[in-house]
Amino acid sequence: MTTMTEASVREFKMPDVGEGLTEAEILKWYVQPGDTVTDGQVVCEVETAKAAVELPIPYDGVVRALHFPEGTTVDVGTSIIAVAVAGAAAPEAPAEPARAVPAQPKEEPKPEGRQPVLVGYGVATSSTKRRPRKGPEVTVPAAAQAVQVELNGHGAVADRVRPLAKPPVRKLAKDLGVDLATLTPSGPDGVITREDVHAAATSRTAEPAAPVATAPAAAPAPVASYDTARETRVPVKGVRKATAQAMVGSAFTAPHVTEFVTVDVTRTMKLVEELKQDKEMQGLRVNPLLLIAKALLVAIKRNPDVNASWDEAGQEIVRKHYVNLGIAAATPRGLIVPNIKDAHDKTLPQLAEALGELVTTAREGKTSPAAMQGGTVTITNVGVFGVDTGTPILNPGESAILAVGAIKLQPWVHKGKVKPRQVTTLALSFDHRLVDGELGSKVLADVAAVLEQPKRLITWA
């Protein structure tokens, strides 16, 4: 008779599916315990702060356990699924009074830094080596306690075992007045979860507190309550969390300046209609945004110093000799800003094709993290919502963002007479550390000039 040993179970950890991401939410599991999986098979879909990504398993085997339910946010490097690797059976081991302690350090493979997985990279493996312990052999229960103490950074001299819990969970317990040492962990490897803390806080408020003989202590802050019939609370996570952090960081780091100009775009709107009939543009997305994007690229070419970023650590201004044009897109998952790589090198048909692919991918929720990295300037089209204009906040790391308002038929003085014309308002926000008022004004004026007289796309290009 054979049985599966601990060594035959592979733990698949949450990979870093982007660059520097620290957590991801499990949106959907495609497998259940007992299912057979093969190398490269997608086992779940996760949502990071940047995109929804499907995760493939990198080996064959049978699913032993799913460590987290759908909707759980998991830190990068945390095991999310256990798979019994096929063909890794071993002779049955004699019964033991408790679970065996982890293998000795000398049997572990030598760390080789960050290990690649099928999507992104896992967390870096520590290269620290522990010195062998001295003293008598430790029994299994004592060894488990010693491991827990070591994991919490207290060493073997700790008088009391510190419960295993992540920093956010510890803060939650502190806010709710819950003693982690009194909880029974439900998480993997004996880790106390948020649910454990909430359950303890709920049970404590539901049952009358028994009198205690200990010294009086400061009462914990009361748990905030609200009327569920009149309010709905939504957890801040995923794209919304990333957007909030990025906008706060940008607004309070880069000194924003916003300038406005109202422009007659009647000729541009006529050109849009003509391009829709052009055989070179057949099958492509042709709309005002296409020509606005081209106008901004021309303005950047005429004023290249606006295309830069601020390096705080190096105290340098980094001039970009390329334009990765970001397009702010409202999606069911929230606001994202994918960008068109090397937009400055694209012809009008190529730019139209790239815009079409970008918008379609964003609406389908399939924008990759790589598509949202490395942007240099951004366009946000608030006009699609009927808004005249706004004061957009810079995408972090970028120097400028152009907001485009609604294009409306308005009375306008044209050739000395008041006539109905197609008019819009543009707003350009820029980082005043990088862009002086003169430079910002020139860029905005050039964009307006091209949209007023689109023939400048030829003469200025």
For residue 286, give every residue at least 6 positions away whose Cβ sits within 8 Å of its Cβ, in sequence order, or none: 272, 275, 276, 352
Gap between the Cα atoms of 114 and 19, Å rounded:
13
Total number of residues shown for the chain:
461
Among residues 154, 198, 321, 432, the one annotated as catalytic is 432
User: Contact, 412 vs 434, CB < 8 A?
Assistant: no
In the annotation, is 432 catalytic? yes
Q: Is the dihedral of CA 340, 345, 348, 350 positive or negative?
A: negative
- Comparing C-alpha atoms, which of 407, 203, 172, 193 is closest to residue 291? 407
What are the DSSP E strand ranges found in 366-407? 377-381, 400-404
Tell the residue number behind the tokens 């491991």, with chain if given. 147
Q: How many whole angstroms separate alpha carbon 47 and alpha carbon 70? A: 11
DSSP for residue 16: B
Q: Are the beta carbons of 323 and 377 closer than 8 angstroms?
A: yes
Token digits of residue 449: 């000039």
Query: What is the C-alpha radius of gyration for the chain, rounded to an integer number of angstroms?
Result: 29
CB atoms within 10 A of CB 124: 13
Main-chain dihedrals φ then ψ at residue 413, nearest 5 degrees: -80, 115
Asked if 447 contacts 296 with a C-beta cutoff of 8 angstroms, the reply is yes
Q: Which of 412, 406, 411 is nearest to 388 (CA)?
A: 406
**What is the set of active-site residues?**
432
